[in-house]
Chain A
Amino acid sequence: MTIEITALTKTYRGGVAALDGLDLTVPTGMFGLLGANGAGKTTLMRILAGIVRPTAGRVTVGGHDLATGAGRHAVQQSLGYLPQDLGVYPDLTARQFLDYVALLKGMDDPAVRRRRVGELLEVVALTAQAGRRLRGFSGGMRQRVGIAQALLADPQLLIVDEPTAGLDPEERIRFRTLLSQFAGDRTVVLSTHIVEDIAQTCREVAVLAQGRLAFRGTVDDLTQRAAGQVWSLVTSGPPPSEGTVVSALPHEGGMRYRIVAPTAPGAEATPVDPGLEDGYLAVTVPDERRPVGR
């Protein structure tokens, strides 16, 4: 299910531009969407899910135009959506909540619905808590309920917005594996600002910055965008004044800094191999705006 986005613009009331003429093609398979908070990722996800209409531009999903009611309906019939700010009905149990969403997704056969809800509760390790009201669930448990509801009705398009927020490291790894296994011949759009989640699951990625496309390519391409710009510097003095500090680790005689900068940030700096996080910084932070010592 290919997503074609053409000149997509979304301006909220008050003139705040969340998306500014975005052109993007999302192929079948796992696709990562990276960007800082406020880059426009969530707005794009909400438009793709058919719950917000764009101000201008066109989006087609599997050939269905989201500008039309029929197109939105067709897309939503094969859509799984996990919003960033997930909410649930606190007075329903996990099983009831999933049953309700399954009904809204058109799973009318009670036996099929019960079986699918049971399977997904097992997948997200909530079988033992299935009869408890959601009021008493922790943030991580609610997130797992959210993941389960997104996977109901076997969606061909899965849109997950910051899905690992609130999950512990073990749950994060489990969810990433689940997403990768689920993708297959489906389209999974994973929006996040956690670079590691993209690195571990996606082959292709887009980076949004201020509502515009800052990068589109493979994860390796994004990594290579920082080639020759990543440096290691050990110093006992103040942080380097040039470039973006990616990490700072205590080291014998001072601190070891990892820095993304177009030129060596000091005479003692040595070049190192770039990582995905370095590539992300290389395309999102312009040279002249790289903060000192960040």
Chain B
Amino acid sequence: MIATLRYEFRMQIRKRSVWIVPALTLVLFVLIGGSLLRDLFDPAERPPEAKTAVVGLAVQVHALLSIGFGCLLADRLVRDDRLRVAPILDATPASRAARLVGKYLGAGTATAVPIAAAYFGFAIAYAINSGSFPAVLWALATFGVVFVPGLLFVAAFALTLPLVMPAPLFRVLFVGYWLWGNVVPPDLMPTLSRTLFNPLGGYPLAGLLGFHGIDGAEVWAGPIPGAALNVLRPEPTPLLAWLSIALLLALAAAALAGGHWVRFSERTRS
């Protein structure tokens, strides 16, 4: 697993698109909209509390860059077959499951590096600019409970779903899912946004970080009057925040297990 992790990381981190896609996304976002990314450095506009600023920043960076993250990982598993390198790897004594996990962690980590660099870069710049150094600690905590589970969830499905559909189709469906499952308000149509299954981290944001939006009036988790699927939106608590993280990781593990079954069991049996 370590060998695969190392080499998958090395191959993915060298891909120009891994750096270009998040960079362009951020530039376009700053140019097009009035973003917190810009306001962070304006004492008149930025949130007064360091925690609110860096957690709010996390929401925007996560919501934006995870789309590219999923799309960039979509070819990682299927490319072993496309490049015809799979037979050589399969003929080694290295466990196939371990190689899958190594690819998942290696390629996933490499693709997350620009996201982490962007987030911590902005957070550190904000901390220096505002003189509020606890912001860096809040950024670390936010990365751990919001980004990491969400990205692990996305990476598992981005690796394995292209085994059963073409990677370009997955990318289209993934972008649609991301907007539907994270951005669409629950009272507009049935959606997974603000549920326990929300990879944007609504429950950790509300239950662990006490974040309720830049203006303190937004709902990131919990029931919405009149919305469908409110059964999946209990009132947020720290315990439910950890449950939400556990659910995301369990779903990621299930996706990997399914991918392993499709990739190896199906291939070796007639």
Measured CB to CB, the closest approach of chain B to A246, in angstroms, equals 34
Using A89-B11, A96-B7, A104-B4 as known contacts, say yes or no to A51 and B91 having CB atoms under 8 A apart. Answer: yes
| Chain A stretch 50-105: residues in CB contact (< 8 A) with chain B | 50-53, 55, 73, 76-77, 79, 81, 83, 85-92, 96, 100-101, 103-105
Give A81's nearest chain B residue, CB to CB: B91
Provide the B1-41 mask, 1 if CB < 8 A to any CB of A, else 0.
00110010011001100000000000000000000000000
Of the listed stretches B82-90, B157-165, B220-228, name the one at the interface; the rest are far from the partner chain: B82-90
CB distance from B156 to the nearest CB of A (A): 22
The answer to whether the Cβ of B93 comes within 8 Å of any Cβ in the partner chain is yes
Interface residue? A253 (CB, 8 A): no
CB contacts under 8 Å to A, within B121-145, are none
A101-B93 CB under 8 A given contacts A49-B87, A91-B14: no
Residue A25 at the chain B interface, CB threshold 8 Å? no
A88-B85, A104-B3 given; A50·B269 CB < 8 A: no
B88 and A55 contacting across the interface, CB-CB below 8 Å: no
- Measured in the bound complex, the distance between the Cα atoms of B89 and A149 in whole Å is 11
Give complex CA distance A282, B11 in Å: 50
Chain A contacts for B15, CB-based, 8 A: 91
**A92 touching B7, Cβ below 8 Å:** yes
Contact A87 B91 (CB under 8 A): no
- What's the nearest-Cβ distance from chain A to residue B151, in Å? 22
Tell whether A86 pairs with B268 under 8 Å between CB atoms, given A92-B7, A103-B3, A106-B93: no
**Cα-based distance from A86 to B91 in the complex (angstroms):** 13
Which of the residues A53, A73, A103 comes within 8 Å of B268, measured between beta carbons?
Answer: A53
- Assembly CA distance A81 to B93 (angstroms): 12
Name the contact of A12 in the complex, choosing from B3, B4, B270 (C-beta under 8 A). B270
**Interface residue? A13 (CB, 8 A):** yes
List, in ascending order, chain B residues with CB within 8 A of A52's CB.
267-268
Most buried by B among A86, A90, A101, A105: A101
Q: Tell me how far the C-beta of B138 lies from the nearest C-beta in chain A, rounded to whole angstroms.
A: 37
Give the complex CA separation of A91 and B110 in angstroms: 15
User: Min CB distance, B87 to chain A, in Å?
Assistant: 4
Cα distance, A149 to B91, chains bound together (Å): 11
| B269 contacts A53, C-beta separation under 8 Å | yes
Contact A73 B93 (CB under 8 A): yes
Q: Does B94 contact A (CB under 8 A)?
A: yes
Rounded to whole Å, the gap between the CB of A99 and the closest CB of chain B is 8
A77: B residues at CB distance < 8 A: 93
- Which residue in B4, B14, B83, B91 is a CB contact (below 8 Å) of A76? B91
Is there a chain B Cβ closer than 8 Å to A10's Cβ? yes
**Alpha-carbon gap, A10 to B268, bound state (A):** 11
A159 CB, min distance to chain B CBs, angstroms: 8
Q: Whole-angstrom distance between the alpha carbons of A119 and B87 in the complex? A: 24
Q: Please, how many residues of chain A have a CB less than 8 angstroms from a CB on the other chain? A: 34
Query: By the criterion CB–CB under 8 Å, are B83 and A100 in contact?
Result: no
Decide if A101 touches B270 in the complex (CB within 8 Å): no
Please tell me if A180 contacts chain B, counting CB pairs below 8 Å: no
Closest chain A residue to B80, Cβ basis: A87
Question: Does the CB pair B14–A49 fall under 8 Å?
Answer: no
> Counting chain B CB atoms within 10 Å of each CB, which of A10, A51, A88, A146 scores highest?
A51
* A46: interface (CB < 8 Å): yes
B4, B11, B87, B94: the one contacting A83 at CB < 8 Å is B87
Are B11 and A105 in contact (CB-based, < 8 A)?
no
Chain B residue with the shortest CB-CB distance to A18: B270
Q: Inside 8 A of B10's CB, which chain A residues have their CB?
A: 92, 96
B122: min CB distance to chain A, Å: 30
Partner of B270, one of A11, A87, A103, A106: A11
Cβ-closest chain B residue relative to A86: B84
Contact between B268 and A81, CB atoms less than 8 A apart: no
Chain A positions within 8 Å of B94 at CB level: 104-106
B85 touches A50 (CB 8 A): no
Kindly state the separation between the CA atoms of A83 and B15 in the bound complex, as whole angstroms: 27
Question: B residues within 8 A CB of A96?
Answer: 7, 10
Contact between B87 and A46, CB atoms less than 8 A apart: yes
Residues of A near B90 (CB, < 8 A) are 49-51
Q: Are A104 and B92 in contact (CB under 8 A)?
A: yes
Is the Cβ of A81 less than 8 Å from the Cβ of B269?
no
Q: A77-B93, A87-B83 are in contact. List 7 more A-B contacts (CB 8 A).
A: A76-B91, A88-B83, A89-B11, A101-B92, A103-B3, A104-B4, A104-B94
* Contact sample, A vs B, 26 pairs, CB 8 Å cutoff: A11-B270, A12-B270, A50-B90, A51-B90, A51-B91, A52-B268, A53-B268, A53-B269, A53-B270, A55-B270, A76-B92, A79-B91, A81-B91, A83-B84, A83-B91, A87-B85, A87-B86, A88-B85, A89-B7, A89-B83, A91-B14, A92-B10, A100-B3, A104-B94, A105-B94, A106-B93
